[in-house]
Amino acid sequence: MATATISSKGQVTLPREVRAALGVSTGDRLDFIRLDDGTYAIVPASHSIRALKGLLPRRDRAVSLEQMDAAIEAGAKGE
């Protein structure tokens, strides 16, 4: 079991094994998530940009500039 101490400024130094397990290093941010039972989970707040791949659906077809202009104009008219 890894143990850490809270400093007088409220700071905690994570033990090396915990940093390694979380995959975090100097400058990384952590999220503290309160669980239903009142305990907290600590998870890295920063993720690789690669983790976002596939998050948004791909469009099946390209849209022309003329189609974009027409859609903008229709939206401005409230159509």
pLDDT less than 70: residues of the chain: 47-48
Asked if the structure places residue 39 within a domain, the reply is yes
Query: What pLDDT does 65 receive?
Result: 93
Asked if the structure places residue 22 within a domain, the reply is yes
Q: What is d(CA 50, CA 29) in angstroms, rounded to the nearest whole number?
A: 18
* Number of independent structural domains in the chain: 1
27 neighbors 43 (Cβ within 8 angstroms) = no
What domain range is 26 assigned to? 16-77
Q: What is d(CA 37, CA 34) in angstroms, rounded to the nearest whole number?
A: 8
The pTM of the full predicted model, rounded to 2 decimals, is 0.53
CB count in 10 Å sphere of residue 35 = 8
Both structure tokens of 2: 């890894």
Asked if the structure places residue 58 within a domain, the reply is yes
